[in-house]
Chains A and B, each alone.
Chain A
């Protein structure tokens, strides 16, 4: 068994990575208020108390609205940029692509501060559109990467053929390119929605009174030990994972054809 040691090491790494995720799920069903081992009994109490609070529902509503809007904008922006990179060459293209892909390298705290100051000037700080704008900036590079990968699987002459057959560029886009990219568009939408649904640093700076779910978690965390966090966190996890797995399945099914 020569491969035993590497396998054990992998198990250790995955244990480290998944320990906090599993812990929070397990303790969300644990009846003791203070988390200790051995565990107390099974309970749904923390879910009930968490979701009995109206502000939790408001936060989920805000998060859903922000995530869907930011995902739609990110996907549109990401696709337009990916198509530009795929189809055209121009003088400042490297700078253009750097501009498109740079946002994820800026620390979130700095994005938060810059956005707070900027959106304040525009009168958008403390509003949901403000959060949507920030999340779109952060999500667009991911959407672009996904769309670009899909476009690179397309034969460039396909579109040219449509043009030669008399289709206008817009019609060729609608009939040829967009249908081909549909799986990428859907999965980019799901992934950017998941990114927005989990983002809390910039949202915390910008949100004011309109809190999203992660911002609310952050504020509960600043108080005391509260197993409601585990319950809310588990619901967020299941939501995000549903989006991610949906994205994954769509990509696998559609691109394998």
Chain B
């Protein structure tokens, strides 16, 4: 079809523009604008002042939260990628087509179970008197304190992101041309060398996309740090919730949100650069 805008074309094109304009772009722009509003006597009035920004960005607790969130999300992305890789490798290269399809189906299942209920289950499992410590106790270990710590939060993050990372990695590994790998073998490359010089570079985009999604999800999640990580120190998302729910401090919460979006943009751009940038 040529670029000819007919009524028929507009009927199908406009709904999204109108809807996303009204209910996606609109809310986000309002939120950015709100970060410059004035709050006085628990009432917000539209304004253009930098009080909220100054207030948040000069506070130590904001930067503590920022550091914790950034660090944990990075760790979650790295751990998820490393833990997922052998599994994705096995799924892509060691299993039959049918087995792989079933495995992927079962990896999709968790997306449709309540993340909250799964986190609650981890609360039960990881508790001081919970099943895991009971089993460890039989072999004379523990009890370990896993809840309300970075360990607990990390278990939650991995619960959230691991299935997605495995799926994305598996797709990118399965898409590699098998002839490339066999050629490397025939030319006498060791398995290690084949992995490093052929498989990893070919699957680079999928691996990076997986890590970025893990980062984005962990960066924005508030359930795991709150219910498994003990919310001390708070993450940025916990900060947003606390600030929003305490009176009319929405503009300050908006400052945190804008900082988060900025960080995510920076990470996404860096990742796209790494994925599609200079090839050897």
Contacts and interface: CB of A to CB of B under 8 A. Distances in A.
Contact of B19 (A36, A140, A195): A140
A47 interface: no
B20 A100 contact: yes
Nearest to A107: B220
Chain B interface helix/strand/loop/mixed: helix
B49 interface: no
A84 B6 CA distance: 12
Contacts of B260: 107, 110
A82 B163 CA distance: 27
A37 B131 contact: yes
B107 A109 contact: no
Interface in B217-248: 219-222, 227, 237, 240-241, 244
B86 A214 contact: no
B3 interface: yes
Contact of B254 (A19, A108, A113): A113
B112 interface: yes
Contacts of B112: 194-195, 198, 237, 240-241, 243-244
A164 B20 CA distance: 34
A116 interface: yes
Using C-beta atoms within 8 Å of the partner chain, give the interface range for chain B.
35 or more
Contact of A198 (B113, B129, B221, B240): B113
Nearest to B90: A6
Contacts of B117: 20, 24, 217, 229-230, 232-233, 236-237
Given A7-B90, A198-B114, A20 B121 contact: yes
Interface string A148-166: 0000000000000000000
A10, A17, A110: most-surrounded residue (chain B CB, <10 A)? A110
Nearest to A25: B121
Interface string B29-60: 01100100000000000000000000000000
Interface string A184-227: 00000000001100101100010000000010011001000100
Interface in B147-181: 158-159, 162-163, 166
Interface residues of A, number: 80
Contacts of B116: 200, 214, 217-218, 221, 233
Interface string A12-32: 011011111101100100000
A80 interface: yes
A52 interface: no
A17 B162 contact: yes
A89 interface: yes
A205 B86 CA distance: 39
Nearest to B158: A16
Contacts of A195: 112
Contacts of B90: 6-7, 9-10
B266 to A, nearest CB: 13
Interface string A130-158: 00011011001000000000000000000
B253 interface: yes
Nearest to B125: A23
Contact of A137 (B19, B124, B158): B19
Contacts of A119: 27
B265 to A, nearest CB: 10
A191 to B, nearest CB: 8
Given A6-B94, A221-B116, A103 B220 contact: no
A17 B31 contact: no
A14 B106 contact: yes
A114 B30 contact: yes
B141 interface: no
A240 B139 CA distance: 39
A42 interface: no
A78 to B, nearest CB: 9
28 contacts: A13-B87, A24-B118, A34-B129, A77-B19, A81-B12, A84-B13, A96-B16, A99-B20, A105-B264, A106-B220, A107-B219, A107-B221, A107-B237, A108-B220, A110-B220, A110-B257, A111-B27, A113-B253, A114-B30, A114-B257, A140-B19, A169-B6, A198-B113, A198-B115, A232-B117, A233-B116, A240-B114, A243-B112
Given A114-B28, A225-B124, 20 more contacts: A13-B84, A13-B87, A16-B162, A18-B106, A23-B121, A35-B131, A80-B11, A84-B13, A99-B17, A100-B20, A103-B24, A106-B220, A136-B23, A137-B24, A198-B115, A200-B114, A230-B120, A237-B114, A241-B113, A248-B105
Going nearest first, the 4 A-B pairs with the smallest beta carbon separation are A107-B220, A233-B117, A6-B90, A20-B121
